[in-house]
Every structure is written in C-alpha cells, then in structure tokens.
C-alpha cells in the first residue's frame, strides 16, 4: 500500500431518559442530530484457540454476534427517540482480546488481520448494511512492516469505505508507528499519524484505550477539527472514578468535543476473571457531562443523541470556556521541543522486541529523567 492509498483510508478527508433531555440538544440543526452508540459487548478471546483457523472462526462469530446487536439497537433506538443511529463505537480488541502468554509472532499470526481482506471487508459490510460509521479497534498487519503488527482504530463509512485509520501511538508492549518513526513517516507522511475524517455526521477522531490518559493524542486531532472522539477501550470497571474515566471527561472539556467511549462487557476465555473489564461505556458532551452511561453486561444503554450544530455553535462563542481559541501554543512549543522522554525508533529495524526489552527501554528513560533532575 502506497502513501496515497493509506491517506485516502485515513480520511485525510440508552434506554435512559437523560440522553433525550440533555442540554447538549439545544439549538442545533436537526440534520446534524443523530444517535451515537458505544456498544458494550462481550469479547470472546482467541487466547483459548490452539490454531489460527480456530481463532479466525471465533473472530467471525464475534462479527456475526455484533451484527445482530447493531441491527437490534438501530431498530430499537429509532423507535425510542426518533433519531437514526449513525455512529457505533466498538470496544478495544473486541474480536480477539489481548495477548496473554503468546509470543508476538504467535499473536500476529493468530489475531492480527490484514489492512485489506476478508475480515475488514466484513467490517466494512456491517457499516454499509446499517448505514453507519463503525469504529473498530483491532490488531492489524501492514505489508510495509511485515514483521510487526499495529493496534488500529479504523472507521468504516456507510458506503463501505475506510474513512479513517489511526495506529495507536503510545503502547508499552504493542508495536506503534513511533517505534519505526522515520520509516513510517517516509512511507505515510505526517498527515497519517493523527488523522481525522470530515463526514456528514461531524469531524471524527479516535483515541485508543489508555491513550485517553495523554492529552496530546486528542489535542493533535482537535487541531485538525475533530468534534467527536471515538474511544474503543477495555478497562477495569469500578463504582468510583478511575483515571481513565476522569480523563474522558477532561478530553471532552478541553477540546469542546463529544466522547463516545465503548468498554468491553467482560472478556471470556482467559484465566483473568471475566468481569474485570466491564461497565463504564459512556457518551459525554463537551462539558464533560454524561449523556448516557452503561452498567455491567452487554448493553446498548450507552447511547445518546449528538447535536453537532450545537457543538459548532459553542465552539464559535467568545468567553473563558472557549478553550480551543485561547491556547498560547507558541508558549508550549520550546518546552515540548526540548523535552527528552520516550525516544523514537525503538525498533528501527522494524522487528518485534521482547517485553523485557520494552521494560528495559522504559527504565532507561526514567533513569535519564532522574539524572537530568526532571524526576526526583
């Protein structure tokens, strides 16, 4: 795949009443109002499969299960609130789970799908069948980096096209574009690193899992106009606020944007207690207010009507709450430029690195920050 093809694919182009009554519905154009769903669905992990064929069959069953869930949710919500479901966000690695004991090479063979092929065609088909924008998080191979896989957020459009492809930038163990930074930029260019998709339902951006903790990921997309952040995640559920849940609200407020965050409804088929990741799927408005939030289990309850017209009106208002218009970026530039934290090109030869090597590299960064007085 060449740079042009990749850029085209990056888009470089509830049952609960509160989702109906939110102040975020005020004043927008009805044409820009629609239902968004953070589908909280079970992940049936492929770790339990001893063959690639069995793993792929399990992934196919996951696609079929989600097809039924999206279809029923679309029909129900249209009858419930009168708005069409036009955006569905799926949880992190919803088809496979995460590597647990497998080598990186084994996981690549078992769980990573090609950029083009039968599985992405089925995902694109879901979007096309239901006339939605579908955000999927999955492991993905790239012919330009045959010995690696990436964790990708891919948004498929209602015409079946891939409108956005984002590769997770910050990951301790999974390869990322930053690990092969020079080569990645040579192949795809900077526009492909933090893409957004300008669509008829708003400007879409994506954040992968724990990257919600890093304000820079969302901000880089907000600088390109992102209005709705799709956030696939698979995180520890809790009755109290967690760091990730807090920062979902922060990303919404500081960027004047919606956040649609879908969490797993359990991960089954591994030794890890299945309900460790469950609940807390949420739709937030640009004030960080919860429009809808799911409890535990498979559910469509994390759905809300998004009003892009009202959001755009808010972004054009003067006042202290217009955070985007007040950013003194020049004041930050030198600090970011001089900071020396995680280095690029962790694996410049584009080969997998072992977990112990990833930890050793992180320790080296910490040691350097202590030596320079950044850490005490």
pLDDT score at 237: 85
* Same domain, yes or no: 66 and 188: yes
Residue 157 lies in a domain: yes
Residue 142 belongs to domain with CATH number: 3.60.110.10
Could you read off the pLDDT of 185-237 as tens digits, one per residue? 999 999 999 999 999 999 999 999 999 999 999 999 999 999 999 999 999 98
pLDDT score at 63: 98
* Same domain, yes or no: 26 and 124: yes
Six-digit token string for 46: 């492929």
Tokens 């990951």, located at residue: 171
What's the rounded Cα separation, in Å, for the pair 292 and 4? 39
pLDDT score at 30: 52
Tokens 């893409």, located at residue: 195
The answer to whether the beta carbons of residues 133 and 163 sit under 8 Å apart is yes
Residue 333 lies in a domain: no
* Same domain, yes or no: 175 and 294: yes
Which residues, 6+ apart, have CB-to-CB distance to 255 below 8 Å? Answer: 218, 219, 222, 226, 229, 286, 323, 324
Q: What are phi and psi of 23, to 5 degrees?
A: -60, -15
8-state DSSP, 300: S
* Same domain, yes or no: 311 and 347: no
DSSP track, 309-361:
HHHHHHHT--STT-TGGG--HHHHHHHHHH---SPS-SSTT-----HHHHHHH
* H-helix or E-strand spanning residue 301: none
Q: How many structural domains are present in the chain? A: 2
**Bridge partner list, 40:** 299
* Same domain, yes or no: 177 and 129: yes
Six-digit token string for 341: 């934290």
What's the rounded Cα separation, in Å, for the pair 133 and 113? 20
Six-digit token string for 280: 């807390």
Residue range(s) defining the domain that contains residue 97 = 3-327
Residue 336 lies in a domain: no
pLDDT score at 349: 87
- Per DSSP, the three-state class of 11 is coil
Could you read off the pLDDT of 140-185 as tens digits, one per residue? 999 999 999 999 999 999 999 999 999 999 998 889 999 999 999 9
Phi-psi bin for 266: left (phi > 0), alpha (psi -120 to 50), beta? left
What's the rounded Cα separation, in Å, for the pair 279 and 286? 22
Six-digit token string for 36: 């968004």
For 194, 252, 286, 321, 357, the CA distances from 258, given in Å and listed in that order, are 17, 6, 5, 15, 38
The answer to whether the beta carbons of residues 149 and 175 sit under 8 Å apart is yes
Six-digit token string for 167: 């590769």
Six-digit token string for 87: 């955006």
Tokens 């910050």, located at residue: 170
* Same domain, yes or no: 209 and 354: no
pLDDT score at 101: 86
pLDDT score at 7: 43
- What residue ranges of the chain have pLDDT lower than 70? 1-31
Residue 127 lies in a domain: yes
* Same domain, yes or no: 164 and 77: yes
Residues comprising the chain, all counted:
376
* Same domain, yes or no: 214 and 356: no
Which residues, 6+ apart, have CB-to-CB distance to 345 below 8 Å? Answer: 179, 180, 181, 182
* Same domain, yes or no: 225 and 361: no
* Same domain, yes or no: 269 and 369: no
Give the predicted TM-score (pTM) of the model.
0.91
205-208-214-215 Cα dihedral, nearest 10 degrees: 10
* Same domain, yes or no: 373 and 245: no
For the chain, percent of residues with pLDDT exceeding 90 = 83
Residue 364 lies in a domain: yes
The answer to whether the beta carbons of residues 284 and 249 sit under 8 Å apart is yes
* Same domain, yes or no: 320 and 353: no
């Amino acid at each position: 795949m060449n740079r042009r093809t990749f850029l085209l694919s990056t888009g470089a182009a509830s049952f609960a009443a509160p989702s109906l009554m939110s102040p975020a519905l005020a004043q927008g154009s009805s044409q820009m109002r629609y239902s968004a769903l953070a589908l909280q669905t079970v992940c049936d992990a492929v770790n339990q499969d001893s063959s690639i064929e069995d793993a792929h069959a399990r992934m196919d069953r996951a696609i079929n299960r989600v097809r039924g869930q999206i279809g029923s949710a679309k029909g129900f919500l249209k009858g419930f609130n009168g708005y069409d479901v036009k955006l569905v966000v799926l949880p992190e690695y919803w088809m496979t789970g995460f590597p647990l004991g497998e080598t990186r090479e084994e996981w690549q063979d078992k769980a990573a799908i090609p950029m083009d092929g039968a599985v992405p065609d089925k995902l694109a088909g879901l979007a096309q069948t239901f006339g939605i924008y579908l955000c999927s998080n999955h492991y993905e191979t790239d012919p330009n980096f045959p010995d690696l896989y990436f964790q990708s957020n891919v948004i498929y459009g209602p015409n079946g096209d891939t409108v956005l492809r984002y590769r997770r930038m910050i990951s301790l163990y999974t390869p990322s574009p930053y690990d092969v930074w020079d080569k990645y930029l040579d192949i795809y260019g900077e526009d492909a690193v933090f893409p957004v998709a300008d669509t008829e339902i708003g400007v879409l951006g994506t954040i992968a899992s724990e990257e919600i903790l890093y304000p820079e990921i969302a901000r880089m997309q907000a600088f390109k106009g992102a209005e709705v952040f799709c956030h696939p995640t698979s995180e520890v559920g809790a009755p109290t606020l967690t760091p990730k849940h807090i920062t979902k609200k922060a990303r919404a407020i500081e960027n004047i944007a919606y956040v649609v965050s879908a969490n797993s409804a359990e991960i089954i088929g591994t030794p890890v207690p299945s309900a460790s990741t469950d609940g807390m799927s949420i739709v937030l408005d640009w004030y960080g207010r919860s429009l809808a939030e799911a409890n535990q289990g498979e559910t469509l309850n994390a759905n809300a009507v998004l009003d892009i017209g009202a959001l755009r009106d808010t972004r054009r208002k003067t006042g202290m709450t217009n955070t985007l218009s007040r950013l003194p970026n020049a004041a930050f530039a030198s600090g970011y430029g001089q900071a020396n934290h995680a280095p690029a090109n962790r694996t410049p030869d584009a080969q997998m690195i072992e977990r112990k090597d990833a930890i050793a590299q992180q320790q080296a960064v910490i040691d350097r920050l202590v030596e320079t007085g950044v850490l005490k």
